[in-house]
Each structure stands twice: as C-alpha cells, then as structure tokens.
Amino acid sequence: MQSGTGFWSVLGSVIASLFGVQSQKNYQRDFTKGSFISFALIGIVLVVLFVVALFMFVKWYTGYNL
C-alpha cells in the first residue's frame, strides 16, 4: 500500500464509508492512492463481522438456543 493508505487509514475509510460519513478529501485520497483489493477485503470482513454480531445479539436477546 502506498503512503496515506496504510491499514489504519484504510480501516478508518471503510468504517466511515459504511456509516456514510466519508469526507471528500479522504474519498479523493482513497481513489487516487489506495488499491481496490485492500478496501474490498477490509469491507467484506467488516460486513461479515457486523452480520455475525447482529445474529449473535438477536440470538442472545431472544434466548434462542440451537
């Protein structure tokens, strides 16, 4: 990854994008310096973690046991 698009920078950009609060400055930086694969992989991992956490919360809240 190039300068300005390290792991923490990419993670912050992906989280901001998931919430819809990505700044125009960061948006431009991501598309000019970042690689698609790093954003895609972190995005997929975060979405999967969110879905699993939501599933576990609903399972805990409803008291449903398999």
pLDDT score recorded for residue 51: 97
Mean pLDDT of the chain: 89
What pTM was computed for the model? 0.77
Q: What is the 3-state secondary structure (H, E, C) of the chain?
A: CCCCCCHHHHHHHHHHHHHCCCCHHHHHHHHHHCCHHHHHHHHHHHHHHHHHHHHHHHHHHHCCCC
> Tens digit of pLDDT for each residue in 9-36?
999 999 999 999 988 998 898 888 888 9
